[in-house]
Amino acid sequence: MPSVKDLRERIRSLKNTQQITKAMKQVAAAKIRRAEAAQKQARPYADTLAEMLRDLMNAVSTVDHPFMKPGNASAPMGVILMTADKGLAGAFNSNVIRAGELFAREQKEVAWYTVGIKARNAVRRMGKPNHPTWVLNAPSKIDVARAVAKQVTDDFIGGKISGITMISSKLITMMVQRPETRQMVPIVADALRAKGDAGEAESHAPKGSVEFAPSPEFVLSRLLPKYLEFTIFSAMLETDAAFFAAQLLAMNNATDNAGKLIDELTIQMNNARQAAITKELLEIVGGAEALVNG
């Protein structure tokens, strides 16, 4: 049985850990509010961009753009794996990495592009040390999104990859974050038209005709790269929010578990101290009886 001194040291260590987890929980709670605010500010632009893209797809018959054509079939699939830069968020990063590994097993070959330090380290452990990588918490996320979009676009047009797939976290609720796998390029025109038809069926407001100058094909060719950039940027914002939600939950659980361990160790320490006192009393009584009998 541990001594009273050992138990007291363990309790002191757990209390220090509990203070750290409480502080990290408060920081995560503050940061998730900022992350959600940034995501909400970007949402109207994303909705308008997606709506305009659907309108253009419904207005044109054919588009001469590389994103609308199949890539080099013999080239590997390009995968953008996006995680957080830090840990201490439960299984948040490992779930995304596991989704990436499962997707890679279904492909003949994969070319990795990582956003986030945890994703970079995971791909390096897979035996791919030299691959394009970026950090998630950069001073300007939109610049990182543009750099990622330019790299994967150049590789796709150059025939180095057959397509572009992104694997990132989706914030379902504050308690649930799930990996999401999205095929970004090549863009399937029929799927976009189907989404547009579904959106129009749900909307009861009349929509007027839209004129695009100089032509819908020209506007669409300029819009597709922007759509790729903003999709990556939006995924970065959502990964931020999902990470802080996961970290908030993990630190809350850690704080509660530390409190339970402190209570259990306090009971053990009190029992050990009481046992030591009882033992000393028994020794004193035994010694006194020995003197009297002697």
Q: Is 198 exposed, middle or buried (0-12, 13-18, 19+ CB in 10 A)?
A: exposed
* Higher pLDDT pick, 205 / 223: 223
Residue type at 140 in one-letter notation: S
Beta carbons of 68 and 189 less than 8 angstroms apart? yes
Q: Has residue 246 got a pLDDT over 70?
A: yes
Number of other CB atoms surrounding residue 165 within 10 Å: 20
Quick one: fold of 44-242? Pyruvate Kinase; Chain: A, domain 1 (3.40.1380)
Beta carbons of 84 and 92 less than 8 angstroms apart? yes
Mean pLDDT computed over 259-280: 89
Nearest residue to 21 (alpha-carbon basis) of 33, 29, 32: 29
Give every strand in the sheet of 77-82, ordered side by side.
133-134, 110-115, 77-82, 164-171, 177-185
Residue 246 CA from chain centroid, whole number:
9
Q: Has residue 294 got a pLDDT over 70?
A: no
* Residue 52 confidence (pLDDT): 77
Q: Which of 23-32, 53-62, 115-124 has the lowest mean pLDDT?
A: 53-62
Half-sphere exposure of 21 toward its Cβ, with a 13 Å CA cutoff? Answer: 20
Q: How far apart are CA 135 and CA 118, in angstroms?
A: 9
Sorted by sequence, the CB contacts under 8 Å of residue 101 that are 6+ apart come out as: 126
Q: Has residue 188 got a pLDDT over 70?
A: no
pLDDT band with cut points at 50, 70 and 90 for residue 186: confident
Beta carbons of 234 and 42 less than 8 angstroms apart? yes
The runs of H, that is alpha helices, within the chain are 4-59, 92-105, 117-125, 141-157, 189-202, 216-293
* Residue 205 confidence (pLDDT): 40
Nearest residue to 86 (alpha-carbon basis) of 17, 33, 27, 131: 27
Both tokens of 144, joined, read 């990182």
The SS3 of residue 204 is coil
Q: Has residue 1 got a pLDDT over 80?
A: no
pTM (whole model) above 0.85 = no
Q: Which of 145-159, 189-203, 205-219 has the lowest mean pLDDT?
A: 189-203
Q: Where are the domains of the chain?
A: 44-242
Please name every residue paired with 134 in a beta bridge, in sequence order, or none if there are none: 115
